[in-house]
Amino acid sequence: MRLDRFLSETTGMSRKEATRTLHRSEITINGDVVKKGAVHVPEDAVVEWNGTTLTLLGPTYIMFHKPVGCICANDDLSHVTVFSYLDLPNPEKFHTVGRLDLDTSGLLFVTNDGQWSHRITSPKHACEKVYRAQVSEPLLPEHVEAFKQGLKLHGEVALTQPAHLEIISAHEALVTLTEGRYHQVRRMFAAVGNKVETLHRESIGGVQLDTDLEPGEFRDLTAAEVAQLAG
Ligand code: URA
């Protein structure tokens, strides 16, 4: 890889900034000052910027506790985005694995590995997602069967895939889905005459949101979690 590209991938600086940084003699490869952006960076080279080693990010998998009021987009003028919480040198190389609504909190993965995220979001793999919902109207046992049979959502023809509704208390339930249609949980409750007041995603593919993560906090997924989700 060319040095100027290496610098922009590891630090997020533009090509122009990389050229200026190189001209200021701030970059070394294996201890030697290098001033030309076109220079090839060998795989095992140690590249330093003013003494700090720069490392290329390989495939990266992040668990994020999305707070309410934050949007799953790379840029947004009126809302804080997921990426403003994550300290990534090149956020445009990353994407969220599926989306949560502005008003939904909970488990969200962020990655730069498109194949891995496809396994989680593709309907073919029917990856289970569990949501905890607080609703305005009392939950009724017949809704459990309705969720299992599939519901017709407003404006759609195909019924939803069988979903599991577990009633926890009069106004609280856990919902397990294997698909991810737009505002699906909210629209499923609307289809049975109820209204979601709060919605929180607890798990994806058996991986639970880490209880040590406060809203807005994140950590790397463990190798075991990455493998479990790819499986
Ligand atoms: N279903 C919803 O209605 N909203 C979400 O954010 C996720 C699932």
pLDDT over 90 percentage in the chain:
90
In this predicted structure, what is the pLDDT of residue 183? 97
CA-to-CA dists, residue 109 to 23, 72, 185, 210, 229, angstroms: 39, 11, 19, 12, 11
> 75 falls in which pLDDT band (50, 70, 90)?
confident
Q: Which of 32, 44, 75, 101 is catalytic?
A: 101
Q: Within a 10 A sphere around the Cβ of 43, how many other Cβ atoms?
A: 6
Q: What is the whole-number distance in angstroms between the Cα of residue 75 and the centre of ligand 1?
A: 20
- Does residue 32 share a domain with residue 80? no
The closest residue, in CA terms, to atom 3 on ligand 1 is: 183
- Does residue 66 share a domain with residue 16? no
Rounded Cα gap, residues 178 and 128, in angstroms: 5
Give the mean pLDDT of 176-197: 97
pLDDT higher for 93 or 217?
217
Residue 104 in contact with ligand 1 by CB distance below 6 A = yes
Give the mean pLDDT of 121-140: 96
- With a cut of 90, say whether residue 87 has pLDDT above it: no
Rounded Cα gap, residues 61 and 16, in angstroms: 30
- Does residue 214 share a domain with residue 110? yes
In this predicted structure, what is the pLDDT of residue 89? 84
- Does residue 195 share a domain with residue 220? no
One-letter amino acid for residue 16 of the chain: K
In this predicted structure, what is the pLDDT of residue 190? 97
What residues make up the domain containing 163?
A: 128-204
Q: Which atom of ligand 1 is nearest to the CA of 180?
A: 8
- With a cut of 90, say whether residue 12 has pLDDT above it: no
- Does residue 211 share a domain with residue 116? yes
- Does residue 118 share a domain with residue 80? yes
Q: Which of 34-39's residues contact partners 24+ apart within 8 Å by CB, and which partners?
A: 34/3, 36/3, 37/2, 37/3, 37/4, 37/7, 38/2, 38/3, 38/4, 39/2, 39/3
Burial level of 82, CB count in 10 A (0-12/13-18/19+)?
Answer: buried
In this predicted structure, what is the pLDDT of residue 231? 80
Residue 199 in contact with ligand 1 by CB distance below 6 A = yes
| Residue 213: DSSP 8-state | P
- Does residue 24 share a domain with residue 83? no
- Indicate if 44 belongs to the active site: no
Model-level pTM?
0.88
- Does residue 214 share a domain with residue 184? no
Q: Which atom of ligand 1 is nearest to the CA of 177?
A: 8
- Does residue 118 share a domain with residue 210? yes
- For the ranges 15-29, 61-75, 79-93, the lowest mean pLDDT is seen at 79-93
The closest residue, in CA terms, to atom 2 on ligand 1 is: 183
Instruction: Assign residue 133 the CATH number of its domain.
Output: 3.30.70.1560
Residue 50 has which token pair?
A: 């003013």
Rounded Cα gap, residues 144 and 165, in angstroms: 5
Count how many domains the chain has.
Answer: 3
Q: Which atom of ligand 1 is nearest to the CA of 104?
A: 6
Q: Which atom of ligand 1 is nearest to the CA of 196?
A: 3
Residue 153 in contact with ligand 1 by CB distance below 6 A = no
Tens digits of residue pLDDT in 162-181: 999 999 999 999 999 999 99
Q: Given ligand 1 and candidates 97, 130, 184, which is best to mutate, with the most ligand atoms within 8 Å of its CB?
A: 184
